[in-house]
Structure 1
């Protein structure tokens, strides 16, 4: 029998029981109403007639009006005798009334008729009491039957609920377990349901689906293995060292080139990455001492391969995607590629050495030219006229500008070659500031710029490289002077905060757009709107110097108002 017919049968039975209870209730309520109506119509009217007759014979002697009323009432009572003995009592009342009519002045007849009327009254009162008790008994019986039927209905409903729940729940659990096994790719499902209802049909369909899925998986397993082998061959023949890591930090693939460069064995495939990092310096450098750190996307490693110094650019490609269409996009792993850039590195090193050599070679004749121009100015025997002095000053400015550019290029080549040394010592900030202000005094005086220095009463010493810190300070103040209008003001302030000393240089120049505030610290970058001389290396070198000392450098600016440059160094 199908579940549909089982439901119809159970609900139909409950509906029949409800109809039965309704019919019984209607019948009993109708019966009680009939009994109540009989009490009101018969006995109540008799009591009313007795009261009217008593009022008629209450006065002595009786007059003609009362006689007429008594006769009418007595006649009605004769036709309303419904109780045993009531007719005989009414007959007695009628006889006594006839005596009163014959002897109206006889007082004894009046007392006797009143007693007879009271007898009729008493018979009806007893009848009312008897019928009331009978109605109560019937009400108790109806209550008993109602409770019995209600309990029976309750038991049947509970039984039906338990039966239906068992009928539905048990196959549901079996089907749910089977579906979970299939979802976990376990297609050996056993559904022992010998039923002919919908659950039996559904179980048959699930078994059929499991068998087809099993066939599909077996048929695709060879194809999957083939594709996996193809991917392994592609990775193996990739020209650069390549390693694939899954989302749980397990090594999935690594070609022979990666194993050779990283000095690893083939057996590491399938191993947890965190177990290999402590034993391998190259992996530790790649992952920055922290597996979960993915902030470094590209970096350069210096690795000794086959007893030769080689350079590799590390590329960490984070892979995101979905395992199934219903899943959310999540981290699926990471691809590590080591690109051999040894040849490019050698060319870059040769370029750096060439620039350093040329810069150094140019510095000597430019210095000689400056010295010669100074001697010409100081020659007392051959005084120069005003036009000649203007030319000489122009040549001095050009030579000085050339020396500054050459100095910046030499500093930059030192940074690129990695030969820059930082010596951290205890220094007094006011002394460094005094040296820097002396170096830029002439430049500030030429533009009539006032430099306002704001120093706290007491300043702690700082740990820094004094020469390089002074160079950074001179570069920042020189830039502020260069880009400030004539007769303006530059503010320099120092502030102690969080065990650091913050240097602040504020100018009243044209300002820098927000999109360039980070780029100005890059090599060779120059703000497009500012048409001033320079190499674009000064701020880049300043950042390298400050960060090499463990500090930070940054800038804030507002167009049309000016710029403020900050750098911080640790307190000694």
Structure 2
């Protein structure tokens, strides 16, 4: 079904693209035709006017150079005159190659002849300057050269006027062609839009019908909301479950239709929560439901949110199974606790020789039984701990606590154990560490587990407990100089019953301690991870937010 829809949408998309391409090609060809027309009517005339202005500027500069020459600055004057001579002929040749109007070529030839005459007169002035006095040179300039400059400039102005008149005379024709082009492009675009819209409406209604059926077939609530959290669509099963079958919800704010503040808080920040799974408990029709909330975000320009799709996946059955599993683990653990206690008491009586003396072989057997029973007892205790945490994670005893004091108390309990292994204990506290909202006993359990593991797997060196913080969270770390953990196990060690291959694991290890620590830290809103290098040591770090959200 999805492949079929995909093919149909592809065909629709290709058809619309072809219409757009057709309109674009026709419009482009028409615009190019108009451009060529304008070039022929205006651009050439403007080019001639620009060339004429260039020649006028050049000859004016040469006239100024002659005046400088008369002031006896001959070297400077000659430089100016000859550089502008080159400039004049540059513009003259451009104009010669751009003849478009009747009579223009004759005018260009006349300008050329008059300019040559002007250049000859300046040469004559230079010859006279060797034998004539200054007054005679000035008279020569005023009587011969200055009138010739005016003749050349007058001819150039006539040439410019000829092209200006041509531009103005073509103005109405250009305007008519532009209007014709605009109407043509608008007509083609309108036809393309009407045809495309008509076909799109027909095909979209046909194609989207299966999608509507698909969405309505989903048994979990599906909601479409715009960027202002106004509801645009809810599938049929969603309306039925949420009890809004007979309510007009469209374009109304989420909270005005559904009094679900926890869900609303989740969708208020869609960018942050996209891809996040949030499990919530809701009650409808006197029945308790559990939903896994997920959202998908539609983005527009500049990655701005245009809308979201909210899916409430019903996981009530899974949640009920989870409760059954927890109850089963708790019940079994409690049932095992009683016989294990009896066995431990019996072993204690045997070791106290209250029922007779044992030989060496019997004593070894009893010692082995005692170790195994102790390991089993630790395992049961950890299973009970997990069951307790999962059952009461919404009811942690969260209070403000001095984390420095807690760290000092915990480390003090391990002095004897560290001394026996010749390991030094270090405590690095930050006096500015703020009080934090935590369950004191649960965090002490995490610290006890991390420090006992560090001592257990360290043969020599030190174990260090650090505390620090930034603007958002507190960082607590336990560093050792033990055997280290291979890179591929740095995440797996926090899973239940995981053991690192290739390492001798102490018999007292149950493989649950780090899993429990991870669960406690995450319930507090923090994270826990490990940094390690084989043969160098390990560092376990966990964080606690400074502003703990309500659990």
TM-score, normalised with respect to structure 1? 0.64
1:231-310 alignment, distance < 5 Å: 231-246=211-226, 249-264=229-244, 266-271=247-252, 276=256, 279-284=259-264, 286-287=266-267, 290-295=269-274, 297-310=276-289
1:539 equivalent to 2:539? Answer: no
3-state secondary structure, aligned to 1:505? strand
Quote the residue 1:20 is aligned against: 107
Given that 2:42 and 2:167 are in contact with CA atoms closer than 8 Å, whether structure 1 keeps it comes out as: no
Counterpart-to-counterpart distance in 1, 2:520 and 2:477: 17
Counterpart-to-counterpart distance in 2, 1:305 and 1:537: 38
TM-superposition CA deviations, 1:43-87 (whole Å, max 9, x none): xxxx9xxxxxxxxxxxxxxxxxxxxxxxxxxxxxxxxxxxxxxxx
Quote the residue 2:465 is aligned against: 493
1:144-183 alignment, distance < 5 Å: 144-160=150-166, 168=174, 172=178
Quote the residue 2:51 is aligned against: none
Given that 1:462 and 1:570 are in contact with CA atoms closer than 8 Å, whether structure 2 keeps it comes out as: no
Quote the residue 1:142 is aligned against: 148
1:566 equivalent to 2:541? Answer: yes
Counterpart-to-counterpart distance in 2, 1:22 and 1:362: 120
Cα offset for 1:559?
A: 2.4
Of 427, 437, 453, 1:454 maps to 427
Given that 1:422 and 1:549 are in contact with CA atoms closer than 8 Å, whether structure 2 keeps it comes out as: no
TM-superposition CA deviations, 1:410-444 (whole Å, max 9, x none): 111122223653253656855765566547956x5
In structure 2, the CA distance between the partners of 1:461 and 1:498, relative to structure 1 (3 Å rule), is closer
Given that 1:297 and 1:317 are in contact with CA atoms closer than 8 Å, whether structure 2 keeps it comes out as: no
Quote the residue 2:204 is aligned against: 224
In structure 2, the CA distance between the partners of 1:165 and 1:556, relative to structure 1 (3 Å rule), is farther
In structure 2, the CA distance between the partners of 1:526 and 1:250, relative to structure 1 (3 Å rule), is farther
Cα offset for 1:473?
A: 2.0
1:106-505 alignment, distance < 5 Å: 137-160=143-166, 168=174, 172=178, 193=180, 199=181, 203-204=183-184, 206-246=186-226, 249-264=229-244, 266-271=247-252, 276=256, 279-284=259-264, 286-287=266-267, 290-295=269-274, 297-318=276-297, 333-379=307-353, 382-418=356-392, 421-424=396-399, 426=401, 429=404, 433-434=408-409, 438=413, 441=416, 448-454=421-427, 464-485=438-459, 488-495=460-467, 497=469, 503-505=476-478
In structure 2, the CA distance between the partners of 1:242 and 1:384, relative to structure 1 (3 Å rule), is same
User: How many residues are treated as equivalent by the alignment?
Assistant: 449
The answer for unaligned runs of 5 or more in structure 2 is 1-33, 46-97
Q: Which one scores higher on RCO, CA 8 angstroms, separation ≥ 6?
A: 2
RMSD, aligned CA: 4.6
In structure 2, the CA distance between the partners of 1:32 and 1:293, relative to structure 1 (3 Å rule), is closer
TM-score, normalised with respect to structure 2? 0.66
Quote the residue 2:27 is aligned against: none
In structure 2, the CA distance between the partners of 1:536 and 1:256, relative to structure 1 (3 Å rule), is farther
Cα offset for 1:314?
A: 2.0
